[in-house]
Amino acid sequence: MKTNKTYLPKVNELERKCYIVDATGQILGRLAARVATVLRGKHKPTYTPHLDCGDTVIVINAEKIRVTGRKLEQKEYHRYSGYPSGQRTVPLGMMLVKAPHKVIELAVNRMIPKGALGNQFRTRLRVYAGDQHPHAAQKPVKLDI
């Protein structure tokens, strides 16, 4: 009895594309989940968990992202310097004013697995607050979310 073998793509056989996402009016969590899926390559039929087969994603208009409920006042981002009294907390509303690109980067990065392979995925995410980006030479394709 002959069994079929599972196809595993080689690293040099992988094709990478560049996608652009307009975050205007998008809900933060839904956008981040879709972007994380494309970064990992799970949208491709040749997805392999142990290989980096994902694509590059450029997110523009990060300042126009939307959240539901009372998250603007209630959701907080924490960081800790390691020193006594070194914990700082910033609400989502303030973070959107100061660094809107950071909000999407944190949301996507927390949906990607930790470790060396996850670090490779993270390098292909580009987030910009406005609608201008310096990646026109890559000819990004619009990704509908």
Q: Tokens 């002959």, residue? A: 2
Q: CA-CA distance, 32 to 21, in Å (whole number)? A: 11
**pTM of the predicted protein model:** 0.91
The stretch 110-139 carries a mean pLDDT of 96
pLDDT band at 31 (very low <50, low <70, confident <90, very high): very high
Residue 116, pLDDT above cutoff 80: yes
Domains of the chain, earliest start first: 16-67+98-142 (3.90.1180.10)
Q: Containing H/E element for 31?
A: helix 28-40
Q: CA-CA distance, 131 to 62, in Å (whole number)? A: 9
The stretch 109-123 carries a mean pLDDT of 96
